[in-house]
Amino acid sequence: MKEELLLLRNIKDGDQESFKIFFKETYPALFGYANSYARNRVLAEDITQQAYIKFWENRKKIDLNNSPKSYLYTIAYNGFLDSKRKEQKERNYMDQLHRAAIEEEASEKERLERKLERLQKVIDSLPEKCRKILLMNKMEGLKYKEIAEKLDISVKTVESQMRIAFQKIRESFKNEEVILWTLFSKLRVC
């Protein structure tokens, strides 16, 4: 008991060798205590090390009349509670991020669906020849020359009809940033 009191008095005065001795004597039991709560070896080691760091940093506050081991165990237990609070906070934050991402994705999908519906309405409102040329180009992937040959019209007529179709589409989406080829790739064939 006298040796322990001397050891603690020396630690309180900043003697690192005394602290090393105290550390070696108490580490296994403190680690076991931390591990009984943490049930995770890595976390228990971290809690134990942090407890010793705080013990050393607050060595001037050591009350020689009270059990310094009890003080050390209290620090370790509080470290465990802090780690659980931090873990819960991180889990809550990740849950919030996940929910926000899902909501954003759903919202983006709804916006895209509305744009697709609007695009479909614009296409449906085009004159028959204009609509057919647009769909042959965008849905079937035919070049202007191929469309002209299939419909037995001039390439200039195809260009003119495509210009009319895109003008109507642009008017419908004039205040929005829309990449039309993206919409066309998601559009259903009429």
| pLDDT tens digit at each of 190 positions of the chain | 678 888 889 999 999 999 999 999 999 999 999 999 999 999 999 999 999 999 999 999 888 888 888 899 999 999 999 999 999 999 998 988 888 888 888 888 888 888 888 888 989 999 999 999 999 998 888 999 999 999 999 999 999 999 999 888 888 877 666 555 555 655 554 4
d(CA 57, CA 63): 14
> What pLDDT is attached to residue 178?
55
All domains in the chain, ordered by first residue: 2-91 (1.10.1740.10), 126-186 (1.10.10)
d(CA 20, CA 66): 20
**Which pLDDT belongs to residue 190?**
40
Q: pLDDT at position 126, please?
A: 93
